[in-house]
Structure 1
Amino acid sequence: MPAAPSTLVRSFVLGLSLLLPAACNRGTEPEPTTTPEVKAPPPQTDGDSGDEATADTKCRNWSELDVASLRSLPQTPYTATLEKVWVTVLTKHYDPTINCLDWPAVRIEYGEKLADAKDEAAAFGLITEMLGRLGQSHLAVVPPRKQVAGEPRAAVKSGDAEVPIEVRVIGGEAVVVNPAKHGKKSGIPGGAVLLAVDDDEVAPVVAATAEQHPERMVEATFAARRVIGSWLSCPTGAKKTLRYLPSGASKPKTKKVTCVPIEAERVSLGNLKNVPAVVEHRMIPKTKIGYLSFNIWMIPLVAKIEAAMTDLRKQGMEALVIDLRGNPGGVGAMVVPVGRLILSEDANLGEMRMREGKQVFKVTAGDDPFTGPIALLVDEGTASTSEIFGQALQDLGRVRVFGAVPSQGAALPSVIEELPGGGMLQFVVADYESPGGTIVEGKGVQPDTVVPETREDFAKGRDPVLEAAVAALQSPASE
């Protein structure tokens, strides 16, 4: 029989926290509202039908299911973990029909499969597969040893530093788009194709993720980018051996690169610990255009973003680029105080719809907001809170979005809680709809201006998306 869910620990990874920290108060908090309870047909139990909902059958509401009536699963070392995951989705997912799945039947199916799992990796792989039946983002389990079945061995290596390069998948290849980070040069040229990190080959990962996500290349490239990024994580002072093909070269080269510390403030929230949090700002040379970038949506960054905007305005900023490329999201409520910096009228940045009620991201206009034109940059690494912010401002006509591809399309609010025996579960608790009625999940924020990118651009030290945004902001039409 499934165990009752424990007290929720609210946090996030590529998701949203439902906490409303004090830093978001003073007239900027999301406005809570309620919706009437929806009654549904009596639930079926233990998957009597064995079928998902059909066109002539209403989706069943599982909120009234008596979990005590369910038959026991075969006992394994991981059964308690599967039960915890299953019950959490049953009781916390925003849709009580669980996306029209026969959720009790899914429990039986995977509970029986679990008996054949030979180790932790296989067990967590099955639980991940079970969550995949919902077909949504922000549903994931992380085992205690942080490796699931089929994941490359080196994907679990990590440290407090990283190889100072940035890599993205462009045209089916892992391209070095930035050969330096944290003030340190890697010695790897921009535009080079990364072939291997130590003994781990890159091409099979790119191919495997493309096969796993055939319908949305954005998801495939992000998945590959995440694995490669984990390979580049390492202890300070350690060395990684990189094999790469420079642009225009016919033979690969090999270089050992020292891992450099990530120089950033470390912030924590709930189960997410010591996350590097960075805000960067500058004026674009020979223009009156400011540039603002931050790598995650965490409350301690609000004051730094405010200070950055103040400094840019003192330097004569008349237009602004907000670069959210690679920003995976964070605390959803943070869109409100940041929105106040650039909105001259009260606005609604969309709403989260939960199982019981909804929450509106309502922004009160700032006292002295920046009113100049704004370009917002996205890529496959732009997700969650970044997508909520970008889509809302695009709907309101406040920003023009630039990118080579849409954002990730992973905008469902989620939280994280610990699992029995270790590990973490991230699960969806709400849906999001933008002020214009756009559903971002599975689609992403679509660029107003699509800017092609090539290896050659980065070999020449160019950033075509940023260049296109700057050119547009300098044109008379943007004024």
Structure 2
Amino acid sequence: MYSSKAQVSLSRLKCGVDSMKRYLFVALILALTFGFTFGPSFGPSFAMPGAARATLAVTGESTPAQRHEAFEIVWHAVKEKHFDATLGGLDWDKVKRDYAPKVDAAKSDNELYSLLQQMLGELHQSHFNIIPPEFIVEDDTREPAGGGIGIDIRTVDDQILITRVDPNSPGAKGGLRTGFVIMAVDNTPVKEIISRFAKSKESPAITKLRINRSILSRINGPPDTQVKLAYLDGHDKTQEATIGRERLPGKMSQRMGNFPPQYSEIEVKRLEGGIGYIRFNIFVMLLNEPIREAIRSLHDAPGLIIDIRGNPGGVGGIAPGLVGMMEEKQVSLGTMKTRNNEVRFIANPQPNAYAAPIALLIDGMSASTSEILAGGLQELKRAVVVGERSAGAALPSVFEKLPTGALFQYAIGDFRTPSGVLIEGQGVKPDVEVKLSRAALLAGRDPQLDEAVKQIMKAVPNHKSRTASH
């Protein structure tokens, strides 16, 4: 449930979004009511699994009139839609007077794009980019079919490592193990895939996230097809394996507007000492009730670990609902501000809230709603956050096609935690930072999960003592 103020703001925001007919892809984290969001946009060449890709044709140089029109579109978008009407004190009218003559004198599209990027640089903020048509990379993030080989990957020390192999999955049967280094997918070297992102203007964290998603999307694919992998085994010997993809045990979520179907899975189990463990890969309505049921089923666990490593976000409204199952009073996870609206992420307490210690696992591929959940629980001191700094991608931004064929990305909202901390560009810093290592993975260990268990075990006696005193 949300406050009436939030509900009114969201209603107005929806009307505004519906009117933006020229946007190629709207990526608002505020899908609390209309649910087509997947977190902020990371670039036209990047989409989470299944997102439609924007392909622009390069048809030669634009006319001076088209270049000037592009300039006007960019300038007016910032002037009229930036979430801060004051632009931090920047005189945007003066900026226009300074740059308009330069734009009109531009002799090529590339010169225009350079000038527009310089102009946007006057804002000194992320998510304001001009992406020329030739920079729009097809990164093979295709419509999901629920097929794969049951592995996950991460970039560790500049290598693409297998970090999870599901038991009895095609990957496990094909001999893959955690710690193996992926060298090529279907004869395409991993280095070649990575090189395609070399010109990325995004932060290193977002670029790494994009690379991992791109490689994983190549590994996964429709059931009853095959993928050929070249990898380094535990003895650093190059091996090759052709592995058949199978339909994975999760389910496909429903398409909601621009938010495409997503492969969705949840894992629930008990660890040593009866500690509860819940892992889910995305925030979608399909998983909302299963996650809540998992929390209820573990009500007697002495501690709970929620694993959102690799979770890129999703429907923002799910996070407050989950926190309401872990808090005995109304709390806020933070505030989203747009030009004309303010939305508070309110979590209302629910009956029989889980009261035992909680540890939250995050990493560099935890983004959007994952960061809202992690940042909120951390500031509320309701959970200890373990792992690696999150992606720092919590601003809603949109893409607009310019007359020249380029894409213009700009942020239209600002999210801050209850204490006013900006997550965008910074990410959530874990309370206990633990990095993965190839040595640990090859040994079959998960040092981040091990630390989360350690933190729970350390907190349990204090919790029992407080409970007994009441």
Aligning the two structures, in what range does the TM-score lie when normalised by the shorter sequence? 0.7 to 0.9
Matched residues in 1 for 2:380 and 2:312: separation? 22
Please tell me whether the aligned partners of residues 402 and 450 of structure 1 are also in contact (alpha carbons under 8 angstroms): yes
Q: 1:172 maps to which residue?
A: 158
Q: Which runs of 5+ in 2 are unaligned?
A: 1-15, 36-61, 464-470
207, 212, 218: which one pairs with 1:231? 218
Query: Does the Cα contact within 8 Å between 1:218 and 1:406 map onto a contact in 2?
Result: no
2:227 to 229, 240, 244: 240
Q: How does 1:303-452 map to 2 (within 5 A)?
A: 303-313=289-299, 316-403=300-387, 405-414=388-397, 427-452=410-435
TM alignment of 1:108-127, pairs within 5 A: 115-116=108-109
Take 1:338 and 1:235, find their aligned partners in 2: how far apart are those partners? 32
Alpha-carbon distance change, 180 to 173 in structure 1, aligned in 2, over 3 angstroms: same
* Mapped partners of 1:413, 1:85: distance in 2: 17
Query: Residue in 2 aligned with 1:473?
Result: 456
Q: Which residue of 2 aligns with 1:17?
A: 30
Number of aligned pairs? 412
- CA-to-aligned-CA distance 1:270-324 (integer Å, 9 cap, x gap): 211212232322222x3221111222222343222211112222xx322111111
Distance 1:388 1:219, change over 3 A: same
- 5 Å-filtered alignment, 1:246-261, equals 246-249=233-236, 251-261=237-247
Displacement of 1:229: 2.1
Evaluate the alpha carbon distance shift between residue 424 and residue 365 of structure 1 in structure 2; reply closer, same or farther with a 3 A threshold: farther
Distance in 1 of aligned mates of 2:337 and 2:189: 42
- Report if the CA contact (8 A) 2:144-2:262 is conserved: no
- Check conservation: 2:170, 2:245, Cα contact below 8 A: no
Contact 1:373-1:398 within 8 A present in 2 as well: yes
CA distance in 1, matches of 2:115, 2:251: 37
Which residue in 1 is equivalent to 2:269?
282
With the length of structure 1 as denominator, give the TM-score of the two structures. 0.72
Q: Which moved more, 1:417-426 or 1:185-194?
A: 417-426
2:178 maps to: 190
Q: Distance in 1 between matches of 2:101 and 2:245?
A: 46
Does residue 7 of structure 1 match 2:24? Answer: no
C-alpha distance after superposition, 1:200-234 (max 9, x if no partner): 221355567588579x6534432321221232243
Per mean C-alpha deviation after superposition, the further-off stretch among 85-94 and 257-266 is 85-94
Structure with greater helix percent: 2
Distance 1:372 1:260, change over 3 A: same
Task: Give the match's secondary structure for 1:185.
Answer: helix
TM-score, normalised with respect to structure 2 = 0.73
Once the two structures are superposed, residues 317-352 of structure 1 have per-residue CA deviations (whole angstroms, 9 ceiling, x without a partner) of 221111111111122232221111111111121111
| Kept after mapping to 1: 8 A contact 2:375/2:428 | yes
**What is the CA-CA distance between 1:8 and the residue it aligns to?**
3.3
Instruction: Specify the SS of the correspondent of 1:149.
Output: helix
Residues 213 and 125 of structure 1: is their aligned pair in 2 closer, same or farther, counting only changes over 3 Å? closer
Deviation at 1:395, TM superposition (A): 0.6
**Displacement, 1:181?**
7.6
Is the CA contact 1:14–1:329 (under 8 Å) kept in the aligned structure 2? no
Aligned to 1:93: 82
Q: 1:192 to 1:350 in 2, by over 3 A?
A: same
* Contact 2:185–2:227 (8 Å) recurs in 1: yes
Q: Compared with structure 1, are the counterparts of its residues 432 and 162 closer, same or farther at alpha carbon in structure 2 (3 Å cutoff)?
A: same
Question: Partners in 1 of 2:115 and 2:395 — Cα distance?
Answer: 22
Moved more, 299-308 or 375-384: 299-308
For 1:152 and 1:416, how far apart are their aligned partners in 2? Answer: 15
Instruction: Give, as a single letter, the amino acid of the residue that structure 2 aligns with 1:95.
Output: D
Gaps of 5+ in 1: 23-71
- The 3-state SS of whatever aligns with 1:360 is strand
The letter for the 1-side match of 2:429 is: Q
Q: Which residue in 2 is equivalent to 1:68? A: none
Distance (whole Å) between structure 1 residues aligned to residue 17 and residue 101 of structure 2: 18
SS at match of 1:432: strand
Find the counterpart in structure 1 of residue 134 from structure 2: 149
Quick one: structure 1 residues 178 and 337, their matched pair in 2 at CA, closer, same or farther if it must change by over 3 Å? Answer: same
Q: CA deviation at 1:170?
A: 0.4
3-state DSSP of counterpart to 1:327: coil
Candidates 242, 264, 267, aligned match of 2:254: 267
Contact 1:124 1:149 (C-alpha < 8 Å) held by counterparts: no
Query: 1:458 aligns to what SS in structure 2?
Result: helix
1:82/1:461 CA distance change after superposition, 3 Å: farther
Query: Which amino acid in 2 is paired with 1:16?
Result: I
